[in-house]
Structure 1
Amino acid sequence: MIEALELTKRYGRVTAVDALSFTVRPGVVTGFLGPNGAGKTTTLRMILGLNEPTAGIVTVGGRRFRDRPRGLRHVGALLDAADVHGGRSALAHLSALARGNAVPRRRVAEVLEEVGLAGAARRRVGGFSLGMRQRLGIAAALLGDPPVLMFDEPLNGLDPEGVRWLRGLLRRLAAEGRVVFVSSHMMSEMEHTADHLIVIGRGRLVASEPLEEFAARGARAGVAVRTPDPAALAALVTAEGAELRREDDGTCVVSGIGAARIAELAFEHRVMLHEVTPRGSGLEQAFMELTAGEAEFRGAGGEEGRSR
């Protein structure tokens, strides 16, 4: 279990992480979300002892990570896939890590096979694509067979097959009773992968709750429907336990049931529909609404930007 209590990190006058408290429990995939500049990477680095907190404490299994002599046996982490010597082969890189952490040599071959790099084991990392580097970083995290795993943006550079593979891997690791903590900006993948979410903004806790509860906050996402008989449609969807609201342009937005069910109800009761369009996911909408004021910088087009 990872436990943070009043965790704070300041750089001069800038507070990157602000009295942040949370718990990451085993057996579930916990997503770590926040706008750019929210303090996600700084938090992960403090968990690993790479950054010293200004105040507060964070422990892994009841102890500070830096107090554990063989780190990879306790926590496996991928923070930066590019942080590997390009002149080394994948085999040499993992072998060095295994020796330094008293990990059996056989594990090197096992994790290379697991991440799909067995055939590239003797190739220099400098010639790897970003997706291959990500897989190597994941192999390094798995090397010590640790009970706690942390990944910072592990989906970057992966192709669709790689994304599906990683999704299955994360869920399997959690099912084995491990702590799985994943920082990502890809809402769609978190929606398919995470069980619990920890959301931060400007270094402060915004939410810590099951994914379903968090996504329910974004009920306004809904399904946009255009119909010449909105009253009849409202009666149908209300009977199903859903909600309908009218927008200024006459569009009906239905939340609580999906587009397919709305179309089925309209067909069964002969209510004409001119449009049925699903909007953004509930998770994405909830995230945007709760973190709207938490971006450090915001451009005229609404995009935020600051290094984490």
Structure 2
Amino acid sequence: MIEATRLTKRYGDTAAVDDLTFTVAPGRVTGFLGPNGAGKSTTLRMILGLNTPTSGSVTVDGVPFSSRPRGLRHVGALLDAHDVHGGRTARAHLSALARGNRLPLSRVDEVLREVGLAKAARRRIGGFSLGMKQRLGIAGALLGDPPVLLFDEPLNGLDPEGVLWVRGLFRNLAAEGRTVFVSSHMMAEMEATADQLVVIGQGRLIADQSLREFSDRHAKRGVIVHTPDLAALDAVLRAEGASVRREGGAEGRVTGLSAARIGELAHRHGIVLHELATHTSSLESAFMSLTADSVEYLAGETR
């Protein structure tokens, strides 16, 4: 379990992380979401003791991670896939980590097989693609068979097969009772993987809830209707308190009434419907809307 309490990191007058409190529980995949520059990487570095909080605290299973010897037995982490010595082979890199943490060297070949790099074990890392470096970083995180795992943007550079593999890996790790904390700025990426979401913007907590709760609270729902008499249907539905937005031609988007109720009203008033379908906006749209005020750089913004 990871517990952050009023965690704050300031650089001069700038708060990279601002009074952040959340818990990451075992047995589920927790997505750590926020726009670029939101403070996600700084938070992960504080969890691992690489950055010192200005105030507040963060613990892993009740104690600061920096107090634990042989850390890979307790927490596995992938923060930057490029942060490796390009002249080493994959096996040499993992072997050095194993020796430093008093892990059996047999684990090196086990994790290389698990991440699909067994055939590349003797290749120098400098010739790896980004996707291969991500796999190597995941292998390093798994090396100590730890109960807690942290990943920062782990899907960058992976091909579709690799993305599916990583999603399955995270779910399997959580099913084993481990704490899995995955940082990303893409809601669509987490929608297929996460059970719980911690969302931040400009270093502050915006949401801490399950994926379902996030969807119920923030995703916008409506009903798409197609009818040759949209004006008549508009009048009927507005009289019932619904909002109708014309999407073009014979199509409208209705909010405030269920599809069943719209169908009943159309039938009662003799209005022909060609289509009636419930529509929910994507969670990515909900995420973008929720974090819009926290985006540091906006393309096309005017001054």
Report how far residue 300 of structure 1 moved. 2.4
Aligned-partner Cα distance in 1 for 2:213–2:236: 26
Aligned-partner Cα distance in 2 for 1:20–1:234: 48
User: Structure 1 length as normaliser, TM-score?
Assistant: 0.85
Report how far residue 6 of structure 1 moved. 0.5
Alignment partner, residue 103 of structure 2: 103
Which residue identity lines up with residue 19 of structure 1 in the other structure? D
Aligned-partner Cα distance in 2 for 1:116–1:222: 44
* Local SS of the residue matching 1:182: strand
Aligned-partner Cα distance in 1 for 2:299–2:163: 30
Please point out which of 271, 274, 283 is paired with 1:272: 274
Gaps of 5+ in 2: none
1:247 corresponds to 2:245:
yes
Aligned-partner Cα distance in 2 for 1:221–1:103: 51
Which residue identity lines up with residue 115 of structure 2 in the other structure? V
Alignment partner, residue 158 of structure 1: 158
Higher Cα radius of gyration: 2
Alpha-carbon spacing, 1:105–1:300, altered in 2? closer, same or farther (3 Å): same
Residue by residue over 1:156-201, the C-alpha shift from the partner in whole angstroms, topping out at 9 and shown as x without a partner, is 0000000000000000000000000001123222111000000001
Contact 1:8 / 1:16 at 8 angstroms: preserved in 2? yes
Aligned positions of 1:117-266 closer than 5 A: 117-220=117-220, 222=222, 224-229=224-229, 245-247=243-245, 249=247, 251-253=251-253
Alpha-carbon spacing, 1:175–1:255, altered in 2? closer, same or farther (3 Å): farther
User: Structure 2 length as normaliser, TM-score?
Assistant: 0.86
Residue by residue over 1:222-274, the C-alpha shift from the partner in whole angstroms, topping out at 9 and shown as x without a partner, is 565443355769999xxxxxx974125565335799x9xx9xxx9xx96214x
Aligned-partner Cα distance in 1 for 2:58–2:167: 27
Residue by residue over 1:16-50, the C-alpha shift from the partner in whole angstroms, topping out at 9 and shown as x without a partner, is 00000000000000000011111000000000000
Which residue identity lines up with residue 124 of structure 1 in the other structure? R
Gaps of 5+ in 1: 237-242, 303-308
Aligned-partner Cα distance in 1 for 2:51–2:37: 16
Aligned-partner Cα distance in 1 for 2:92–2:52: 30
* Local SS of the residue matching 1:132: helix
When structure 1 is superposed on structure 2, of 23-32 and 217-226 the one drifting more is: 217-226
* Local SS of the residue matching 2:171: helix
Contact 2:234 / 2:244 at 8 angstroms: preserved in 1? no
